């Protein structure tokens, strides 16, 4: 009698567009499409990477796993990969954004839209001279120091107008820390 292992069904499934496999013994996390994943006979499946101190990534597939964890449109994976490669975004930075911060990215006509916490950002495809590559949702500040997010976006000035710099800005942004008490 032939018995299907859980991971065979999992790997053969074309319906699931996300997914990671954590090896049972070593606890190393692999992307579903990792070269090594079909050799794993004992492992746990997870749909989302949750940051934890003990989490270790497979070195072969960690970049792909980080990107997969953060994008809502997996069919566009190749576009993200090319964009992050061409703009020299490090794997560490992608892990910080898409795993530790839990940011979610989606591709639109004007750029990559990123939701991080309650804030929305855009990484613009085409950046005119003198304009910032990064846009941030508009908001108004109340007298009490809290804020309300409103319609539209404003240009977010960053020190160097590069994609890694923009991603660092998104990761570091914390409204309470920057505006809550002091302004």
**Other beta carbons less than 10 A from residue 87's beta carbon:** 14
Alpha-carbon span 126 to 122, nearest angstrom: 11
To Zn ion, the closest distance from the beta carbon of 28 in angstroms equals 7
Q: How far is CA 12 from CA 18, 29, 77, 115, 169, in A?
A: 13, 19, 19, 31, 39
Per CB under 5 A, residues contacting Zn ion are: 30, 34, 36, 58, 60-61
CB of 54 to Zn ion, least distance (A): 17
E strand or H helix at 23:
strand 20-23
**Strand 28-31 relative to strand 56-57: parallel, antiparallel, unpaired?**
parallel
Kindly state the smallest distance separating residue 126's Cβ from Zn ion, in Å. 35
- Of 80, 73, 72, 129, residue with least CA distance to 103: 72
Q: Which is nearer to Zn ion, 60 or 173 (CB)?
A: 60
Query: Is the CB of 26 or the CB of 138 nearer to Zn ion?
Result: 26
In the complex, minimum distance from the CB of residue 120 to Zn ion, in angstroms, rounded to a whole number: 32
CB of 62 to Zn ion, least distance (A): 7
Q: Measure the CA dihedral 159/163/165/167, to 10°.
A: 130
Taking a C-beta distance cutoff of 8 angstroms, is the pair 166, 158 a contact?
A: yes
Question: Which C-beta is closer to Zn ion: that of 31 or that of 111?
Answer: 31
In terms of CB distance, is 59 or 78 closer to Zn ion?
59
Whole-angstrom Cα distance, residue 29 to residue 26? 9
Nearer to Zn ion, 35 or 108 (CB): 35
Q: Based on CB atoms, which residue is closest to Zn ion, 36 or 175?
A: 36
What is the closest distance, in whole angstroms, from the C-beta atom of residue 23 to Zn ion in the complex? 9
């Amino acid at each position: 009698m032939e018995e299907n292992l859980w991971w065979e069904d999992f790997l053969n499934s074309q319906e699931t567009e996300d997914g990671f496999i954590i090896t049972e013994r070593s606890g190393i996390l692999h992307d579903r499409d990792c070269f090594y994943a079909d050799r794993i006979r004992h492992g746990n499946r997870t749909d989302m990477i949750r940051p934890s101190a003990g989490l270790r990534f497979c070195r072969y597939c960690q970049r792909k796993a980080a990107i997969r964890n953060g994008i809502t449109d997996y069919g566009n994976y190749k576009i993200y990969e090319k964009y992050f490669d061409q703009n020299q975004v490090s794997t560490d930075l992608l892990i910080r954004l898409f795993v530790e911060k839990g940011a979610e990215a989606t591709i639109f006509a004007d750029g990559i839209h990123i939701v991080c916490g309650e804030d929305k950002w855009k990484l613009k495809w085409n950046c005119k001279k003198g304009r910032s590559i990064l846009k941030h949702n508009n908001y108004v500040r109340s007298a009490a120091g809290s804020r309300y997010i409103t319609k539209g976006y404003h240009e977010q000035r960053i020190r160097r107008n590069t994609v890694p710099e923009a991603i660092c800005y998104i990761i570091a942004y914390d409204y309470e820390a920057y505006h809550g008490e002091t302004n």
